[in-house]
Amino acid sequence: MSDLLARHRAVMPNWMALYYNEPIEIVGGKGNRVVDANGKSYLDFFAGILTNMIGYDVPEVRDAVERQLATGVVHTSTLYLIRSQVELAEKIARLSGIPDAKVFFTNSGTEANETALLLATYARGSDQVLAMRQSYHGRSFGAISVTSNRSWKNNSLSPLNVHFLHGADRHLTQFRGMSDADYIAACVDDLRHVLATAVSKDVAALIAEPIQGVGGFTMAPDGLFAAYKEVLDEEGILFVSDEVQTGWGRTGSAFFGIQNHGVTPDMMTFAKGLGNGFAVGGIVARGDLMDGPHAVGLSTFGGNPISMAAANATLDYVLDHDLQANAARTGEIIISGLREAAGRLPVVGEVRGKGLMFAIELVDPATGAPAPALAARFMEETKRLGLLAGKGGLYGSTLRMAPPLTLTEDEAREGLGILVTALEAVNDEAR
């Protein structure tokens, strides 16, 4: 493994992060578990950054991909009709709830967000965009400009004129202790103030994650985006919901994250879990917005027949097995269990989440300050105990987890036990 690590570092960029002091190579997977090159098994609570949405070696997905491979057609491009692309677009348009919806497929969430920004700025004739503090929308030039997290922002240059809003930052002094209603009112006041002071007319759009992924699964209280949309609608400002991490029932309480706010956006972007590991992203939007741009467009690999076969099979599996309900059920086991344990563990600053999308904020037990070193220690401990977790947050002190939606109740309890054991170890060391 040390040889592979040395080879990796010789040819891969230094900024391409690897987890763990001794990184692992995953060589096998079945169900909700993976195996590394040393033969060690792990319960996977991060799913390739929320991408292996229904686990590993799923017969329905494998069979669909093999049937497409057997035709000999791996790729055609969007210059030709692709039946599976049309079928998937029909399903997504229906599920979105967006009127007269149309769908465009890309390779990733970054490309999907770039497309949404293009459609919004074209429709409104403006480069002005609103986004949320602590957000992350991808690593391209435009996506970085609407990202609000210094750890992920390489460039202050921007093709857009961006203003950032409150909504997922209740830890700040001016908001601490507020009720949901008071916090929403304060955020709406700030939005109106931004529109009155910081922008010219004709703002293009607000782009927002219903639950911030890289931000550490921080989230606005339910209803905030409905209150924001009332203000946006007054000025014709479009609303883009970035569902790259919150889509397909993961929150348990809604099929798309924004539905927890009672909002139907003008556009939604998606990616990650839809292909269960195969590269697929896209955007679903009102037909008039999607049809608006006058220039010709295509996507060479977007809508690829292999990815479409995998995505159709994955989405059908999610719907046929009601995995949204399973996310609510198993997520409640884990989140309630973590909150119960947090009361006796001073290193836990907060437990938050919805469904199978949950996070633990670690703090210095003496000062309450964010504790990224403790988060790193937790990662090593869960690895030792046989569970894969993720890390993030504005200060690098958040453990974020999103197991496959196929997680069983027994696996949820098993994972909860490992998480609590790891927290106890970190808490004891931090005393």
H/E/C letters for each residue in 311-377? HHHHHHHHHHCCHHHHHHHHHHHHHHHHHHHHCCCCCEEEEEECCCCEEEEEECCCCCCECHHHHHH
Judging by DSSP bridges, how do beta strands 26-30 and 33-36 pair with one another?
Answer: antiparallel
Q: How many folded domains does the chain comprise?
A: 3
Residues 79 and 199 in one domain: yes
The helix/strand count (H/E) of the chain reads as: 13, 17
Residues 301 and 337 in one domain: no
Helical axes 372-385 vs 409-430, angle rounded to 10°: 130
From CA 297, how far away is CA 331, in angstroms rounded? 41
End-to-end CA distance of the chain: 34
Along the 431 residues of the chain, how does pLDDT read in single tens digits? Answer: 679 999 999 999 999 999 999 999 999 999 999 999 999 999 999 999 999 999 999 999 999 999 999 999 999 999 999 999 999 999 999 999 999 999 999 999 999 999 999 999 999 999 999 999 999 999 999 999 999 999 998 888 899 999 999 999 999 999 999 999 999 999 999 999 999 999 998 999 999 999 999 999 999 999 999 999 999 999 999 999 999 999 999 999 999 999 999 999 999 999 999 999 999 999 999 999 999 999 999 999 999 999 999 999 999 999 999 999 999 999 999 999 999 999 999 999 999 999 999 999 999 999 999 999 999 999 999 999 999 999 999 999 999 999 999 999 999 999 999 999 999 999 999 88
Judging by DSSP bridges, how do beta strands 41-44 and 33-36 pair with one another?
Answer: antiparallel
Q: Classify each residue of 29-39 as buried b or exposed e, where b means 16 or more C-beta atoms within 10 Å of its C-beta.
A: bebbbbbbeee
Residues 364 and 235 in one domain: no
Residue 208 belongs to domain spanning: 63-320
Beta-ladder partners of 206 = 130, 239
Residues 186 and 269 in one domain: yes
Residues 312 and 330 in one domain: no
Contact 253, 260 (CB under 8 A): yes
Is residue 388 a part of any domain in this protein?
yes
Residues 171 and 29 in one domain: no
Residues 372 and 330 in one domain: yes
